[in-house]
Structure 1
Amino acid sequence: RKQPEFKTIHCHEDARIAYQWILKNGPDGRAPADSLFVAGDSAGGNLTLAVIAWARDNGLPAANGAIALAPLTDATFSSPTWKENAETDHFLGPSFAPLLKTPAIVRAFIARFSSGLPSNHPHLSPLFGSLKNLPPTLIQASQHEMLYGDSKRYANKANHQGSHVTLQVWPKLVHVFQGFSNLPETDHAFELIAEFVSNNK
């Protein structure tokens, strides 16, 4: 389910259902998968990090690993790089820089209306929840994108709380540069993702 017809929390519910289904259904039919990885980019990266925390909190088997490409981890938009990198992120900058000029209370209202939850709720902002006992996680981001601060803050907090999060950073690239298939940096990023999967399956 997607917005605007549904709220963000409905996306989370669908992801949880999918996670539970995959635990019981591998690629060869109704049998547990040999390994499970959760992955997503941007808002999907947010969903990835929320789902692995939800699985932990509900006593479900942990994924072998999680991969989040430039995830939104703080839906209050309080990371300094939202403003600092607005001019260097040519993907998000044109759309989101004007939004940041609106009062924080207005942004909070919009988030509450569209999601059904306050913007600092851990389901929307994984950064504000417990980051203990999470599966190995790989985060990739550009140092010059608006969401870089979200990635850095999440990785720092998770590692401080004892989880193993690897943050890989590239300079002078836009948000989710991995979607541009003609970049050598994209090839490098996917090689590192493949290595992460191979080491954790």
Structure 2
Amino acid sequence: MTIADTLKGMIGLDPTAHADADMKAVLDTLKSLNPKPIEECTVAEARQQPTPADAVKALMTQAGHAARLPLEVEVVQSEDIQMPGAAGSNPARVYRPAGEGPFPLILYFHGGGWVIADLDVYDATPRSMAAQSNAIVVSAHYRQAPEHKIPAAHEDAFAAWRWIVEFAASLGGDPRRIAVMGESAGANLAINVAIHARDAGLQAPLHQALIYPVASNNIVSISYEENRNARPLNKKMMLWFVQNVINDEGDLSNRLIDVVSANLSRLPPTVVVTAGIDPLRSEGEKLAEKLHHAGVAVEHRNYQGATHEFFGMAAVVQAARDAQTFVSLAQRQAFGGVPLEREP
């Protein structure tokens, strides 16, 4: 049997049946919130649907699902600010760990397909990383499609990088120690910031953490077919996001989206996190491979029983706790702290 025959036989199957038990509990809770499929929504409707973050919060109210997070996360302080973008200001949230600075800084971009979600939906990841990486994390919002199509979000991300480099000290940070990080579409913004900094002769990030990145225009990859019916992200949803983001079909070959075809040399040390039950897994794997061949120091870990969006679920999902530990160790190493632990 060929790979094509195998994939054809998977059409209609629910890959989340193979999710870890705690991951499946989140998915079941999300289903109980009755979200309308994003691909059947208008953009306005999509922005109002229950999110995986809502499911985590609901699950934490149930017996036996108390949050399991490091105590350091509870003392992280956050402050909402406005940050200059490429065409006006954008909301941002600054997370500060306990202790005395100056701290390293991490510029973080949330996910949502460049169309939905905001700083509140993606509050858990930057809050946890501030504690675990002992760094100030600045979560930067950006203009979203379809009101602002490509390259608006990327231009805002570039502006956010220039701002954080200039104002790091005023935030209590060390301007010599700044990294980038993002989830999904936000991971795409993060690596494009590193590419832009290199090409524009700007200060480069010391490190980049790319969590299930959007990095390719290949929608017939193995993981896209395996996970065409996955939750909380599936193939139809990704096509809906893309159609809202692009100006025309020519944008699909834009290196801002098709990052695996871009020049990836001279980028900072990188960690790539992927999930087994995720249409984006194959492009994350491909990106890690391309970075390695370009001479970039890269570590990639896949969490087979996890789904897209799992990384911020450390309160209730063990794979998220493991992934956050992996990423924070890499960030602390880049900042001059403890070394990155490698799997045997």
User: Quick check: 1:134 aligned with 2:267?
Assistant: yes
- Aligned equivalent of 2:323, options 169, 189, 198: 189
Displacement over 4 Å in runs of 4+: 29-32, 107-111
Q: Cα deviations across residues 33-67 of structure 1 (Å, max 9, x unaligned)?
A: 13111111011011111111111111112101011
Relative distance call for 1:93 and 1:30 in structure 2 (3 A) is closer
2:223 alignment counterpart: 81
Q: Cα deviations across residues 112-144 of structure 1 (Å, max 9, x unaligned)?
A: 427x96212111221110111100111111123
Taking structure 2 as the reference length, what is the TM-score of the superposition? 0.51
Q: Sequence identity of aligned pairs in percent?
A: 24
**Aligned partner letter, 1:127:** V
- Residue 179 (structure 1) shift: 2.4
Relative distance call for 1:109 and 1:136 in structure 2 (3 A) is same
Q: Give aligned pairs, total.
A: 192
- Aligned equivalent of 1:122, options 255, 279, 282: 255
User: Quick check: 1:7 aligned with 2:149?
Assistant: yes
2:159 alignment counterpart: 17
Alignment partners' CA distance in 2, 1:197 and 1:11: 25
**Larger Rg, first or second structure (1 or 2):** 2
**Aligned partner letter, 2:333:** N
Higher relative contact order (CA closer than 8 Å, sequence separation 6+): 1
Alignment partners' CA distance in 1, 2:244 and 2:319: 35
Alignment partners' CA distance in 2, 1:167 and 1:200: 16
2:234 alignment counterpart: 93
Contact kept, 8 Å, 1:70 with 1:142, in 2: the verdict is yes
Higher strand share: 2
- Residue 32 (structure 1) shift: 6.1
Taking structure 1 as the reference length, what is the TM-score of the superposition? 0.85
Alignment partners' CA distance in 1, 2:322 and 2:242: 37
Alignment partners' CA distance in 2, 1:31 and 1:111: 34
Structure 1: runs of 5+ lacking an equivalent: 101-106
Could you tell which deviates more after superposition, 130-139 or 116-125? 116-125
Contact kept, 8 Å, 1:76 with 1:108, in 2: the verdict is no
- Residue 172 (structure 1) shift: 1.7
2:298 alignment counterpart: 165
* Aligned-partner SS, 2:251: coil
Q: Cα deviations across residues 66-92 of structure 1 (Å, max 9, x unaligned)?
A: 1111001013424331112224x3211
Alignment partners' CA distance in 2, 1:54 and 1:171: 32
1:175 alignment counterpart: 308
- Residue 190 (structure 1) shift: 1.0
- Residue 176 (structure 1) shift: 2.3
User: Quick check: 1:199 aligned with 2:327?
Assistant: no
Alignment partners' CA distance in 1, 2:220 and 2:331: 31
- Residue 163 (structure 1) shift: 0.9
